[in-house]
Amino acid sequence: MTTKTLLRIAAMLMLLHAGGHTIGALTWERAPTEKVAAVIRGMKSEHFDFMGKSLTLGSFFAGYGYSMIGVLILVSFALWLLSTAPDRKMTALFAVFLSFLGFCELIWFFPFAAAFSLTAALCTLLALIR
């Protein structure tokens, strides 16, 4: 496969990842059990002051989720643009970033999410080797 194809595969994987993450971010409050519902209520009801603002852990959780959607879309577009004019240093940077993201997802989230990032990292690494 060509460098262009590998980077575009990585871009599409990250766009799919963003789509899945969007679904998760928009539905995280739907509790599968009453115990989970109690945790979610607690996350949304206990306010604390942080940097001059009253927040909840639920607002942090939602905010990080929405922010990550933006990051994943940006990474997808950047990989697509990189495929049109590959640069070794930028490709290496994306390979490291996607590997880091994938391992974080594997440790703190779940394998399905990590598979997207780690496969995109592999495609980016292969594009770098070409």
**Predicted pLDDT at 79:** 98
pLDDT tens per residue, range 39-97: 999 999 999 999 999 999 999 999 999 999 999 999 999 999 999 999 999 999 999 99
Integer Cα distance of 17 and 129 in angstroms: 24
Percent of the chain past pLDDT 90, that is, above it, reads 98
pTM (two decimals): 0.91
Q: Return the ∠ at Cα 91 (arms to 89 and 93), rounded to 5°.
A: 70
Long-range contacts formed by 38-43: CB under 8 A, 24+ apart: none
